[in-house]
Amino acid sequence: MKAIEDFTLVGKTILRREDGYLMRGKAQFLDDLPEPKGLIHLAFVLSPYARADILSIDAGAAKALPGVIDVLTGKDFVDDIKLFAPVIEIGGYRPVRRPVVAVDRVNFVGEYVAVILAESPYVAQDALDLVEVSYDPLPSVAGIDEAAAPGAPVLHDHLGDNLIFKTAFETEGFADRFAEGDVVVEEEFRLGRVTGVMIEPRGCMACPDPIATNMTLWTPTQIPHIVRTAIADHLDIAESALRVVTPAVGGGFGTKAHVYPDELIVVALARRLGRAVKWVQDRREELLTNAHAREHVLKIRVAAKNDGEIRAVHLDVRTNCGAYPNHPYSPTLEATAAVRMMPGPYRIRNYKYDVSSVTTNTAPTGAYRGTGQPSAFLAIEGMMDRVGRRLGLDPADVRRRNTIRPEEFPYVNVVGVRYDTGSYLPSLERGLEMIGYDAFRAAQPEDRLVGGKYRGIGICNYTEVSGTGAPGWRVRGFAKMPGFDSSRVVVEPDGKVTVYVSQADAGQGHYTTFAQLAADRLGVDWADVMVVEGDTSKTPYGTGTFASRGSVVGGGTVIRCSEKVGVKVRRIAGYMLNADPERLVMKEGRVFDPASPDRGLTLREVAETAYSMNNLGLPQGEEHGLEATDYYDPPMVTMANGTHVVQVAVDPEDGKVEIERYVVVHDCGRVINPKIVEGQVHGATVQGIGEALMEEIVYDAEGQHLNANLLDYLLPTAMDVPDLELSHIETPSIDTVGGIKGAAEGGLTGAVPALANAVGDALAGLGVNITRVPLRPSYVFEQIRRARAAQEGRT
């Protein structure tokens, strides 16, 4: 569809209507919902072992505690919940299914072993200490290298080893093209394991309808429809008898875009017992059991010509699946994202990748903001710097040499992804200019030591995948991921508008943005548009809000659907005005012919006719009501882009990395609401700073989780976040409705490589090679100490 050029409200900052109640603490999160009578509270007994046989579970003392209703184990669920697994259809993937509560064997620390049912959450917690589980610990394995090694403990016997996913790709004549390089540069990069830490941890509450057999599940998810389908599949419930509702959601970040065992368990128990059942996660459980992400090893070999042209790239990505595949993505999500996104903004035509994932005795990994892209760009952007150093070229020039130029669009990359439009080179140039790159380089001494600190600059020029449609999910094997989203737009009898969207807001500002889009298309005041989301009983089916889908797919369907309703409004108005509907426009709540603007109707007058609330009839063949439904399946993917340029100072005394300047140039196509886009860029960049400099979930070699608390899992605070210097470039898509591209993840994707490269640049004079994140002070200090010792050894 063509880009729409007549937007009036789109592109304007409207303050978020949700902030009033969010900032005043008025939002109703899961744990704020009124509790139904007879509510049962759950608590889960978690495995303290990474791998063990369960010999016995003695719940006698727990059951004797007043207020405890029952204690159930894995065997109590095998009859009403099928083994839990995603549906993945891609070559090289070997399915693994799991019980929602462990039966006989545990495979990671935090796996559910038993469930306490109690009259109050406090009693449920007390009862946890009284359940005596006897385990026989077994040899376990936590790391990727160890799990892939011969003789490693095998988690799932039917696989024979721990390799759950492996696939490869190679362009024609790859070896020959690779041999054409004048130099070959090789590196191995590693990213620590992280997770999306939300203000609101997860939880869920299932309420059976006292009259019908219906069931309502309240869960702060990003994917209410997919949750409904998964529960219906695994519990044999009719989808029509299950309603999934999201209350206010305190952050999602992809972590809440999974289906979790506890969601199945509360529904199964509510159905079995005929009582409402609720569970709320605590911070330790969040860090132990929510989907983790990253923990990738990327080996990359680049063949380059002497002028910096990249001839060919071979990327080998290995990822850690955790003990079981997550639902609904499996470990193929980050694995295939990393290898498919690596070409990024560069003209890479000869490409080979190998990608694999191993099961280990750790928590399942899954989606988290950036999905695979921080890893892909850590590798390729790291190589841009290394090729530069190797050939004596400025790293910015190596990027310039390889970046796809404006005149090359539309461009189909080496793995078949279409880049319809983009500002890859202008974005890079603007970022360099904003930070004063040339002046910095000119002043930078050989040893990078200025004022007692090592100072360097890092660049990440990236593409950002967004708004994935059905073909984009199928090509990666996600058989049950719809790709489309949908909306229903209703002009009510009073002329006000209700917009129902298949997505689920987790704080992104949908209630403002989607109202803005519908108001723009229907020519009404945006305050007269209400948005309803996150309720499968009210909205048509859809994929949900993750992977930067909100604006592209949700926004796209709201635009289309509003225009569909607009057609009917004009048809009825044309009949009422005895005018050609094609000539009518909708503006400021009125419908009129621009040739005679005084002779118009209010939207309310048209609606009254549509709803039979006056003496006028409808034209022949016209139905009552004033609404439309739309299902929008966007292109395979839509590529946004951007550039981060960061200047850091590394203190050799303590290894601390200080961010001195942080420049972001961001292009998400058509901007709907600039303030909201800035919020997305800021938020994602801060999470990127966390991933690059401090966040890491640490397992010991046996699979013991060593930092399931926020004193030891470090998140960036206001003290760690610099002022971002932000600049927008607006290059609308020519493939998506409204020219919109996604905006939610690039901040993170750009930050991790840019910071790693900046630290690498700062320490390049010392000969330190930065190949991993997080770059915590202890690690950086150790690298500096060793490098200095080696230098002294030489002199």
Q: Using CB under 8 A as the criterion, which residues of the chain lie in contact with other proteins when the complex forms? A: 45-46, 48-50, 109, 128-129, 131-132, 284, 287-288, 700, 702, 704-709, 711-712
Rg (CA), the chain: 28
Minimum CB separation of residue 126 from other proteins in Å reads 10
User: 351-359 and 163-170 as β-strands: parallel, antiparallel, unpaired?
Assistant: antiparallel
- Of 666, 664, 669, residue with least CA distance to 721: 664
CA angle 577/578/583 to nearest 5° reads: 80
User: Of 4 and 128, which has the nearer Cβ to other proteins?
Assistant: 128
Token pair recorded at residue 422: 């983009």
- Residue 102 CB, shortest distance to other proteins, in Å, is 15
Q: Which is nearer to other proteins, 47 or 221 (CB)?
A: 47
Distance CA 253, CA 680 (A): 11
Beta carbons of 63 and 117 less than 8 angstroms apart: no
Report, in Å, the least distance between residue 242 CB and other proteins: 33
CB of residue 709 to other proteins, shortest distance in Å? 5
Cβ nearer to other proteins, comparing 646 with 708: 708
Nearer to other proteins, 7 or 279 (CB): 279
Q: Which of 380, 398, 396 is nearest to 442 (CA)?
A: 396
Name the minimum Å distance from CB 287 to other proteins.
8
Closest CB to other proteins among residues 125, 769? 125
Between 701 and 789, whose beta carbon lies closer to other proteins?
Answer: 701
Distance of closest approach, residue 110 Cβ to other proteins, in angstroms: 8
CA torsion sign for 138, 143, 144, 150 is negative
Nearer to other proteins, 141 or 355 (CB): 141
Q: Which CB atom, from 360 or from 609, has the smaller least distance to other proteins?
A: 360
Angle, CA of 512, 517 and 520, to the nearest 5°: 120
Identity of the residue, 43 or 315, whose beta carbon is nearer to other proteins in the bound complex: 43
Distance CA 768, CA 313 (A): 24
For residue 785, what are the contacts with CB-CB under 8 A and spacing of at least 6?
A: none
> 664: which strand partners?
644, 726
**Taking the complex as a whole, how short is the minimal distance between the CB of residue 413 and other proteins, in angstroms?**
43
Nearest approach, Cβ of residue 55 and other proteins (Å): 13
Judged by CB, which is closer to other proteins: 36, or 48? 48
Q: Of the two residues 248 and 287, which places its CB atom closer to other proteins in the complex?
A: 287
Q: Among 438, 337, 352, 348, which residue's Cα sits nearest to residue 387?
A: 348
For other proteins, the closer of residues 595 and 711 by Cβ is 711
Q: Which two tokens stand for residue 577?
A: 């005005």
Q: How far is the CB of 695 from other proteins (least distance, A)?
A: 16
CB of 704 to other proteins, least distance (A): 5
Complex with other proteins: residue 213 or 709, whichever CB lies closer: 709
DSSP string, 108-154: STT-EEEEEEESSHHHHHHHHTT-EEEEEE-----SHHHHHSTTPPP
Task: Specify whether the CB–CB gap between 322 and 362 falls below 8 A.
Answer: yes
Q: Measure the CA angle with vertex 548, ends 750 and 710; round to 5°.
A: 65
Rounded to the nearest 5°, which phi and psi values hold at 586?
Answer: -115, 120
* Minimum distance from residue 692 beta carbon to other proteins (Å): 22
Least distance in angstroms from the C-beta of 295 to other proteins:
18
CA distances to 297, 416, 453, 477 from 317, rounded to whole Å, are: 6, 19, 34, 18
Q: Which residue has the tokens 């659907």?
A: 561
Least distance from other proteins to the Cβ atom of residue 128, Å: 5
Three-state DSSP string of 475-540: CCCECCCCCCEEEEEEECCCCCEEEEECCCCCCCCHHHHHHHHHHHHHCCCHHHEEEECCECCCCC
Helix 373-391 and helix 746-762: axis angle, to 10°? Answer: 30
Give CA–CA dist 465/254, Å, rounded.
14
